[in-house]
Amino acid sequence: MKTDIEKIISLCKRRGIVFPSSEIYGGFASCYDFGPLGVELKNNIKRAWRDEMTKFHENIVGLDAGILMSPKIWKASGHLTAGFADELVECKKCHKRFKKDELKSQKCPECNGELTKSRKFNLMLKTFVGSVESEATATYLRPETCQGIYVNFLNVLNSARMKIPFGVAQVGKAFRNEITTKNFIFRLLEFEQMEMQWFCESKTSDKWFKYWKNERLKWYYDLGIEKENLRIIEVPEKERAHYAKKQIDIEYKFPFGWKEIEGVHNRGDYDLSNHMKHSGEDLRYYDEQSKKKYIPHIIETSAGVERILLAFLCEAYTEIKGGRTKTTKAKKEEEIVLKLNRRLAPVKAAILPLVKNKPELTKKAKQVYELLKPHFACQYDELGSIGRRYRRQDEIGTPLCLTIDFESLENNDLTIRFRDTMKQERVKIDELTETVRNKLV
């Protein structure tokens, strides 16, 4: 692997992509905050996913269900029973908990204390609704977003007049009381999921499972992940999620090893039949052709935004020893280029006057910024030498730098510099919006 995770963590902090949570209070394990550029990157990932699902598949619609829902849902879904739990041991001395299958010895790794026998701990975070804290008012922060889709199945079916097969796509927060805290933003207490539930007839479910597996792989390739850094793992029955009839994990080759970034699951009729049983509502689909009612089967694609963001960062992070610029000073330093796909890059174009203290140049550069600002995520920067500013933009993955120099004042043009090749091209400002759009395709 080309890089280690510490370098990515340092870049994220330095450039405002990811910050540790509650840092001035000493931190809060397994929680992170996303900085100015992290927000943009996250939004671009979510937009690329939503576009893929709802723009390019006319039979997929969106939904935004709440985080808090009736606790009855978690009983029906199986999350309140042993199905959604980690096997943990607890230290009798310091009371820290550890995953049984990750322990290397029979003693506490923190204080060498004696450990309890393993016990199942539910991963859901509990909260209370209303003014009284009692079991009657307890509910849970959702541990997966898809249940909101199942309980709205009839609402979507009827209001959007959907016909099977069809899908419902949703992006939103999910919460899990995870114990392991290593590997940066890989495993979080609070994270975002991008989930699509595909409702189909049982006899077509194998076909659709294969279809969605391939579609999801293609999405990653299109956004710049190399084929050799992704692999598919068929999950054996005893390791599958409690609802899954069939399950594959899409794994990325992180600096800390191969790890899951997305799952594709054949959930069969598990969810709708359980909600039908527990709610008493008829959740069957009426097929107009056969004149029969049946419970649809579900193929699910379930991806975590932060894990995918980390995978994209690892993939894009490129270190150039000794630098690639010609000046001797820059050559001594190493350069970092974040080769993010253009659709994901937080800033698409940086507008840079060649020097700061020439009002004619900064005025023209600001005009260019005003011209492009409504169309693309742009950044205006006049601080520091032009070489340093290029490197700052390379580090955050900006595909295009637009430099305004003295010739620009005479010819009404500027130089476009490309992040990956450092090639430069002279273009007319009159045609700039169109030119930039074409270069970003």
Give the chain's largest Cα–Cα span: 79
Q: Contacts with ligand ATP in 116-135 (CB under 6 A)?
A: none
Using CB under 6 A, pick the residue from 15, 79, 142, 176 that binds ligand ATP: 176
Between β-strands 246-254 and 230-234, what pairing exists: parallel, antiparallel or unpaired?
antiparallel
Q: Is 208 in the site for ligand ATP (CB under 6 A)?
A: no
Q: Is 435 in the site for ligand ATP (CB under 6 A)?
A: no
Question: Whole-number minimum distance, CB 181 to ligand ATP, in Å?
Answer: 10
**Among the candidate windows 124-132, 187-195, 212-220, 431-439, which touches ligand ATP by CB under 6 A?**
187-195
Please tell me the count of residues contacting ligand ATP according to CB under 6 A. Answer: 17
Report the alpha-carbon distance of residue 203 to residue 287 in Å, rounded: 14
Question: Whole-number minimum distance, CB 259 to ligand ATP, in Å?
Answer: 7
Instruction: Name the closest residue to ligand ATP (Cβ).
Output: 304
Question: Whole-number minimum distance, CB 187 to ligand ATP, in Å?
Answer: 4
* Nearest CA-CA partner of 386 in 420, 352, 435: 352
Question: Whole-number minimum distance, CB 64 to ligand ATP, in Å?
Answer: 18
Read off the tokens for 123.
Answer: 């991963």
Q: Is 197 in the site for ligand ATP (CB under 6 A)?
A: no
Each residue 336-375 as x (binds ligand ATP by CB under 6 A) or -, in order, gives ----------------------------------------
Rounded to 5 degrees, φ, ψ at 46 are -65, -40
User: Cβ closer to ligand ATP: 193 or 408?
Assistant: 193
Length of the chain as a residue count: 441
What are the CA-CA distances from residue 360 to residues 135, 301, 366, 368 (Å)?
Answer: 69, 53, 10, 13
User: Cβ closer to ligand ATP: 180 or 202?
Assistant: 180
Report the chain's C-alpha Rg in angstroms: 25
**Among the candidate windows 38-46, 160-168, 304-312, 370-378, which touches ligand ATP by CB under 6 A?**
304-312
Q: Is 262 in the site for ligand ATP (CB under 6 A)?
A: yes
| CB burial of residue 441 (10 Å; 0-12, 13-18, 19+) | exposed
Using CB under 6 A, pick the residue from 11, 115, 124, 261 that binds ligand ATP: 261
Q: Is 304 in the site for ligand ATP (CB under 6 A)?
A: yes
Q: Is 145 in the site for ligand ATP (CB under 6 A)?
A: no
Q: Is 260 in the site for ligand ATP (CB under 6 A)?
A: yes
Q: Is 146 in the site for ligand ATP (CB under 6 A)?
A: no
Report the alpha-carbon distance of residue 149 to residue 244 in Å, rounded: 17
Residue with tokens 């009736």: 70
Using CB under 6 A, pick the residue from 12, 162, 188, 298 that binds ligand ATP: 188
Buried b (16+ CB within 10 A) or exposed e, 93-132: eeebbbeeeeeeeeebeeeeeebeebeeebbbeeeeeeee
Q: Is 404 in the site for ligand ATP (CB under 6 A)?
A: no
Q: Running DSSP on this structure, what letter comes out for residue 179? A: -
Report the alpha-carbon distance of residue 75 to residue 195 in Å, rounded: 21
Q: Running DSSP on this structure, what letter comes out for residue 286? A: E
Q: Is 382 in the site for ligand ATP (CB under 6 A)?
A: no
Q: Running DSSP on this structure, what letter comes out for residue 290? A: T
Question: Whole-number minimum distance, CB 344 to ligand ATP, in Å?
Answer: 17
Number of neighbours of residue 90 by Cβ within 10 angstroms = 18
Q: Contacts with ligand ATP in 229-248 (CB under 6 A)?
A: 241
Which residues contribute to the site for ligand ATP (CB under 6 A)? 144, 176, 178, 187-188, 191, 193, 241, 260-263, 302-304, 306-307
